[in-house]
Chains A and B, each alone.
Chain A
Amino acid sequence: MAELPTQQEPLTLDTFVRGLWEENPVFVMLLGMCPVLAVTNSTMNAIAMGLATTFVLVCSSLLVSLLRNWIPKQVRIASYIVIIATFVTIVDYGIQAISLELYAALGAFIQLIVANCVILGRAEAYASKERLHTTFINSLGMGAGFTLALLSLGTVREILGSGTILGVPLFPADFQPWVVMILPPGGFFVLGAWLLLFNWLRLRKARKSPDPTGAAIHAS
């Protein structure tokens, strides 16, 4: 019924690294902004959220890839959602069992992983077409990229907003915390600053390389 795509991606290092840098889900594709802004007020929350999302991403991508020839095209999105929701439920109960405190800190955002575009995007754009092992590596890379992005926001916000990192104080006792950094606006400020840095780096790289796409970016 479902016809196989003619060309499938070979497994290379790029399959993994792409998610970290070139197609970073947060800094390049700007997907999954909701948890990125909401739960990165501390490093611990960022790590937990990143790992939870990575787990769901990898597991659901694997299952989608496994079932790619059996899922009818017309109901594929619904099927992906059911698969993703299954793993989100596992994560939800898992975090509750491991640390109730963390569960309370992450709040509704654990359940909201279901609606995370990064995961659905991977299922639709990659896992439903590619073979099992490349899917595994690719979604692992994407998950790592997502976690890295959360971490880069979470550390900056925790250092400035509370003067600590993973709860360990970094500064003398009379450090003045920047309250705004652990409030929602801080998320936007730090995300904006990171995007600025990433875009600047990309533009600089494009400017140096003589290929026509780079020249186009420079000209624009």
Chain B
Amino acid sequence: MAKGIEIRTSPHLKRVMSVERIMRAVVLALLPICAFAVYQFGLSVLLLLLTTTGVAVATEWFFARLSGQGNTISDWSVVITGLLLGLTLPPGFPLWMAAVAAFIGVALGKALFGGLGYNVMNPALVGRAFVQAAFPVAITTWTPAFAPGRFTELIPSTLTLPFMQPQPVEDWIAGLQLDAWTGATPLALQKFQQIELPPADVFTGMIAGSAGETSALLILLCGLWLAWQRMLDWRIPVSVMVGAALVAMPFWLMDGTQYPSPWFVLSSGGLMLGAWFMASDMVASPVTARGAIIYGLFIGVLTVLIRLFGGLVEGVMYAILLANAVGPLISSWTQPRVYGSKVKGSK
């Protein structure tokens, strides 16, 4: 045998895919959305994103140290959690509440279960659900997009002292002297006043809403890029959208003045962000192909049901959390047939 030839056993070819690579790609895909959010809402959103990401990373570092897991920050997953959380909060959300959300999300939603790979639910959504329940007023206080001077001044509620109530933003909004401002997101307008904003505006993101959920178009593009790179399971976002549209369609056909069109349902609120970046969370979604479809449909259907018949305006968060909770069950239901065996799921 010639010298210098290394003998190895199989596998000889390996896919160069690692947790870090996937997570880095997701962070890359989120960056345009973050940039648009900052462009749309200004400095406040920049601070918001920095706060959630910073606190999420610090919390992860602290718990990883405590549990002796070593450095778990370098796998980038906690950065995704921080960014996603920031994108789902209202632009003028007080920073101290955002910090609470990030801490709870990473500590309660991830670290307590044992870190990345063990979390039952999407950590970012756990954090958001907590602040939604804890501070229901602050999390539904919306500010207009493209406010003049958004790059030089902050929304007054952003820098609220910790544990204090946020400053009311009404006076500040009145001072902006916008042509039209209703103080509501397109979803709320549709739900309570049956006013549907122009579909093009809603789709491209020329609307108010949570920091990063506004532009369905941009999220769609970033998500498609990720799917093309095979960094996420395309079945999940697609079936979320199909499920949502299928439920919305009959109601819209029945009474188009009261119920939103499927097009509006898909492009408004957090559905796009939820479908492409949260439902597709690799840890918390089912592993089988059929399971992914069932899981996606479940989220889509539930979201629209909550939106149409629930007390809340938006239902994506709870739909995804609930689907996360039943995810393992769906996985075990849809075990593929073991090759060579006759009965499904037999060992």
- Shortest distance between the CB of A131 and any CB in chain B (Å): 45
- Which B residues are in CB contact (< 8 Å) with A69? none
* Contact partner, A185, options B133, B136, B163, Cβ 8 Å: B133
Chain B residues, Cβ within 8 Å of A174? 164-165
A217 at the interface (CB under 8 A from B): no
Q: Are A176 and B133 in contact (CB under 8 A)?
A: no
- B115 to A: closest C-beta gap in Å: 17
We find that the number of chain A residues with CB closer than 8 angstroms to chain B is 11
Contact A171 B133 (CB under 8 A): no
Categorize the interface residue count of chain B. 10 to 19
User: Do A179 and B163 touch across chains, with their CB atoms under 8 A apart?
Assistant: no
The distance in angstroms between the C-alpha atoms of A175 and B164, with both chains bound, is: 4
Please state if A172 and B164 are interface contacts (CB–CB under 8 Å).
yes
- A179 touches which of B97, B136, B165 (Cβ 8 Å): B136
Q: Which of A171, A180, A181, A185 has the most CB of B within 10 A?
A: A180
In chain B between 164 and 185, which residues have their CB closer than 8 angstroms to a CB of chain A?
164-166
**With A and B bound together, what is the CA distance between A179 and B140 in angstroms?**
14
Question: Measured between alpha carbons, how far is A185 from B131 in the docked complex, in Å?
Answer: 12
Task: Say yes or no for B61: interface residue by CB 8 A criterion.
Answer: no
Task: Please report the number of residue pairs spanning A and B whose Cβ atoms sit closer than 8 angstroms.
Answer: 27
- Contacting residues, chain B, for A171 (C-beta < 8 A): 163
B134 on the interface (CB 8 Å rule)?
Answer: yes
How far is B138's CA from A172's CA once the two chains are assembled, in angstroms? 18
Q: Is B130 an interface residue (CB 8 A)?
A: yes
Q: Which residues in A have their C-beta under 8 angstroms from that of B133?
A: 179-180, 183, 185
Interface residue B135 (Cβ < 8 Å from any Cβ of A): yes
Chain B CB within 8 A of A178 CB: yes
Q: How far is the CA of A175 from the CA of B165 in the complex (A)?
A: 6
Beyond the given A176-B160, A179-B134, A179-B135, please list 9 additional residue pairs across the A-B interface where CB-CB is below 8 A. A172-B164, A174-B164, A175-B165, A176-B97, A176-B135, A176-B165, A178-B134, A179-B133, A185-B133
Q: List the 3 closest A-B pairs by CB distance, nearest first.
A: A180-B133, A180-B134, A178-B134
- Write 24 A-B pairs (CB below 8 A) sorted by A numbering: A171-B163, A172-B164, A174-B164, A174-B165, A175-B163, A175-B164, A175-B165, A176-B97, A176-B135, A176-B138, A176-B160, A176-B163, A176-B164, A176-B165, A176-B166, A178-B134, A178-B135, A179-B133, A179-B134, A179-B136, A180-B130, A180-B133, A180-B134, A183-B133
